[in-house]
């Protein structure tokens, strides 16, 4: 139905100079190529990282992770995690992913985690 990351996907793949996140046909082809079954995992993970980096600062911090979790669990009140649940989940994500223990996840840490998840390449962010 509706991908919760649709706006981020358009933003990441758009080469528009207008800043309106519109996609040209070439942008669309790039997107399809990056998330095709034949694309390498490092290409898929690179674009997934950029999509999840909501503030586009090159790292996934607590705010990015919270937005990511909210996108994945839905925006409705009934599906929203409590503050304690969100904090515990973010703590678990960082504990598993933050290799240098700086409180954020950089691209190489993200790719390391993804490399241990065979389902990532199969299902990716677009499905």
Q: How many domains does the chain have?
A: 1
φ/ψ (deg, to 5) at 94: -65, -40
Any idea what the Cα angle at residue 69 is, between residues 96 and 113, rounded to 5°?
A: 30
pLDDT value, residue 126: 46
Residue range 49-65, pLDDT digits in tens: 999 999 999 999 999 99
Domain containing 103 equals 5-123
Q: How far apart, in Å, are the Cα atoms of 72 and each of 50, 81, 96, 100, 115? A: 16, 11, 19, 26, 21
In the predicted structure, residue 119 carries a pLDDT above the cut 80: no
Q: What is the CATH number of the domain that holds 52?
A: 1.10.238.10
Which contacts of 26-29 are long-range, i.e. CB under 8 A and separated by 24 or more positions?
none
What is the per-residue pLDDT across 7-64, written as a single tens digit (0 to 9) for each?
Answer: 999 999 999 998 899 999 999 999 999 989 889 889 999 999 999 999 999 999 999 9
């Amino acid at each position: 139905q509706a991908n919760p990351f649709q706006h981020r996907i358009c933003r990441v793949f758009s080469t528009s100079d207008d800043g309106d996140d519109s996609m040209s046909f070439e942008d669309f082809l790039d997107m399809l190529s990056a998330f095709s079954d034949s694309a390498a995992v490092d290409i898929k993970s690179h674009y997934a990282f950029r999509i999840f980096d909501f503030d586009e600062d090159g790292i996934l911090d607590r705010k990015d992770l919270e937005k990511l979790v909210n996108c994945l669990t839905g925006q409705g009140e009934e599906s929203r995690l409590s503050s304690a649940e969100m904090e515990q989940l973010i703590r678990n994500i960082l504990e598993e992913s933050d290799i240098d223990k700086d409180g954020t996840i950089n691209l190489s840490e993200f790719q390391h985690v993804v490399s241990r998840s065979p389902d990532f390449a199969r299902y990716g962010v677009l499905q």
